[in-house]
Chain A
Amino acid sequence: MTVIATESLSKRYPRVTALDRLSLDIGPGVTGLVGANGAGKSTLIKILLGLSPATEGRAAVLGLDVATHGSAIRERVGYMPEHDCLPPDVSATEFVVHMARMSGLPPEAARERTADTLRHVGLYEERYRPIGGYSTGMKQRVKLAQALVHDPQLVLLDEPTNGLDPVGRDEMLGLIRRVWTDFGISVLVTSHLLGELERTCDHVVVVDGGKLLRSSSTSDFTQTTTTLAVEVTDSDTHPDGTAALRRALALAGVTLHDSDEQGLPGAGHILLVEATGEATYDTVRDTVAQLGLGLVRMEQRRHHIAEVFRDHDRGRLAQQQDAAAWQTTPQQSAQPHYVQKGAGTDGA
């Protein structure tokens, strides 16, 4: 079953081409839509909601043509905007009930669904207080709740992690994952941070300049090879344990990667080893033992989607990759990178 299908979809404004013959085929599940600001993400959402006619090409959502069935689509689709959209002087309950009725739910059902949905997004007693006093994380939950309250078959989430701190970001990503796994609602989530989507999405679509850059499943991006991160202690015989291990492993014929986290605190003490099979784990263990070093950790390091894209378009995505690499390695992210919140990482 196809949830979203577009066929050479184009949108041209007098001076800008926002979408350029974009053909997509998105199935059920969580799909990430990645692109720099101005890549055409928001334009695509507008067209998918039937609010803006395409210049040429066709698009269908849940099998309904956007040009002719906009109202029917909007009844079955939820939308969470990127920007703030909540009145501060009403409570979350009042607001979401009103929005449920705007989606066509009868009064009684609107109240029941609101209570259910707010509980599912993690708002409890505070839902009776005016929204003005909420934290950013709570507001994002209310925005998500109003998109889910009418039990849509698909939700379009525009930059849902914008402005959240790392903990809030993780919680929101977990929630988005649950929307599909627990609620059975397909998700299209946009971001300019590849790393976020890697953890959440089954499928990632990358658009740039209104064109499709790449569309494939997240596992395709990251399962090609496994990288091991190895950290060892120093000893009296080997004052620089990491360097000693590096030499010994190179002699043993193991491929070592240059870490792209140079300059991060602690990065010098981590060796990235390419694991070609089970044997590599044994080789590392034995080599460390022979050197008499302490093995602090040996863990699988997934490839970042960003690394996969490095070959594709070095120039345009460079900024995002940096941001994405930081986002996907929270154990590496020392304090300086926490400054890098969503709003600050706009690429291009």
Chain B
Amino acid sequence: MAPETSTQIHNIGYRSYEGARLGRAYARKSLYSQSLRGAYGLGRSAKSKVLPMILFAVMCVPALIIVAVAIAVPGSTELPIKYTTYALTTQVIIGLYLASQAPQTVSRDLRFKTVPLYFSRPIERVDYVVAKYAAMASALFVLTATPLLIMYIGSLLAKFDFGDQTKGFGQGIVSVLLLSLLFAGLGLVMAALTPRRGFGVAAVIAMLLIPYGAVSTVQAVAYGTGKAGAIEWLGLFSPITLIDGVQTAFLGATTAFPGGEGVSAGVGVVYLLVVLALIAGSYAALMARYRKAGL
């Protein structure tokens, strides 16, 4: 035996590929999972994991505290806050997360002109937009639903009423699902406007903060001047107050509007329609955005 032959490096030349080609649906699914993982920095550099992971942790800590308090305080029969209130009180964290991750989800491909490489492959514009939108919405859903799950599990451990808790948890999940779809759509549209990541971050923060600030100020003025009837209509003009309105009308939530002037079921229908229209509009805007972004 000549052992040295085993160390030889053979140039085996070019090998053609005869295996499976899984096509569009597979490519779309791969893009979705890659984007979703990317939204938490997985599969990216260590540096890009820092912010999303910190925000995720910050998002979960209050839920753990709530559970701990509920279990520790003797005689308590329910959680100190409702499931539907959680996203409203943590909206700053959700906003920061969206502002940091929506631009990375879409503007990297625009900035580095990678988009043509996607569209020169089997996937089409609709696959790309659907995959990116779904990934961003899923990432937000993971962020907003995990604390609710912690609270739910905690409440069951504390032996609170199972029926009540399940109903509340379900309402919270529906609410954050709607919130995830709405925020992801608006965030991606803002981020896709510019290939510059910094502008994207600023645009998303502006989109969330400025309308909210304006709406709550005008609502407060309306409340103070005794025009309480206007409050429920004013809430239509900012993303988070839209979610507040929908869940107050349909999901048994307690509103954060001034004076507790929540949205009635009738006006709630308008809120719901506006939310759905914004989701559909975001999708259409993204489709239009990528019409020209091809080759």
Enumerate chain A interface residues (CB-CB to B < 8 A): 42, 45-46, 49, 51-52, 71-72, 74-75, 77-79, 81, 83-90, 94, 98-99, 101-106, 109, 113, 116, 120, 130, 146, 150-151, 182-184
* Number of interchain pairs (Cβ within 8 Å): 111
**Which A residue's beta carbon lies closest to that of B15?**
A116
Q: Is B72 an interface residue (CB 8 A)?
A: no
**Which B residue's beta carbon lies closest to that of A156?**
B120
Are B23 and A104 within 8 A (Cβ)? yes
Tell me how far the C-beta of B106 lies from the nearest C-beta in chain A, rounded to whole angstroms.
13
Are B17 and A74 within 8 A (Cβ)? no
User: CB-defined interface of B15-40 with A at 8 Å, one 1/0 digit per residue?
Assistant: 11101111110110011001000000
Count the B residues whose beta carbon is within 8 Å of the partner chain — how many? 36
Are A103 and B20 within 8 A (Cβ)? no
In the bound complex, residues from chain A placing their C-beta under 8 Å from that of B280 are none
A-B contact list, 7 entries, CB within 8 Å: A49-B120, A79-B117, A87-B109, A101-B26, A102-B118, A113-B17, A116-B15
User: CB-defined interface of B120-147 with A at 8 Å, one 1/0 digit per residue?
Assistant: 1111100000000000000000000000
* Cα distance, A113 to B18, chains bound together (Å): 11
Are A81 and B295 within 8 A (Cβ)? yes
Are A109 and B17 within 8 A (Cβ)? yes
* Cα distance, A74 to B116, chains bound together (Å): 12
In the bound complex, residues from chain B placing their C-beta under 8 Å from that of A45 are 295
Of B34, B44, B117, B122, the residue contacting A89 (CB under 8 A) is: B44
Given contacts A49-B295, A88-B112, A90-B44, contact A104 B122 (CB under 8 A): yes
Given contacts A103-B121, A104-B26, A184-B16, contact A87 B114 (CB under 8 A): yes
**Which B residue's beta carbon lies closest to that of A110?**
B30
**Which B residue's beta carbon lies closest to that of A99?**
B117
Tell me how far the C-beta of B215 lies from the nearest C-beta in chain A, rounded to whole angstroms.
38
Of A51, A113, A120, the residue contacting B120 (CB under 8 A) is: A51
Tell me how far the C-beta of A16 lies from the nearest C-beta in chain B, rounded to whole angstroms.
16
Q: Is B108 an interface residue (CB 8 A)?
A: yes
Tell me how far the C-beta of B257 lies from the nearest C-beta in chain A, rounded to whole angstroms.
43
**Which A residue's beta carbon lies closest to that of B47?**
A89
* Cα distance, A197 to B124, chains bound together (Å): 32
In the bound complex, residues from chain B placing their C-beta under 8 Å from that of A182 are 13-14
Are B22 and A85 within 8 A (Cβ)? no
Are B112 and A103 within 8 A (Cβ)? no
List 20 additional contacts besides A85-B114, A105-B21; criterion CB under 8 Å.
Answer: A45-B295, A51-B294, A74-B122, A81-B116, A86-B112, A88-B112, A89-B44, A98-B30, A98-B34, A102-B27, A102-B30, A104-B21, A104-B22, A106-B20, A106-B26, A109-B20, A150-B17, A183-B14, A183-B16, A184-B16
Tell me how far the C-beta of B181 lies from the nearest C-beta in chain A, rounded to whole angstroms.
25
In the bound complex, residues from chain A placing their C-beta under 8 Å from that of B119 are 51
**Which B residue's beta carbon lies closest to that of A143?**
B117
Q: Is B252 an interface residue (CB 8 A)?
A: no
Given contacts A104-B22, A104-B27, A109-B19, contact A85 B14 (CB under 8 A): no
The 3 residue pairs across chains A and B that have the minimum distance between CB atoms: A151-B17, A79-B120, A104-B21
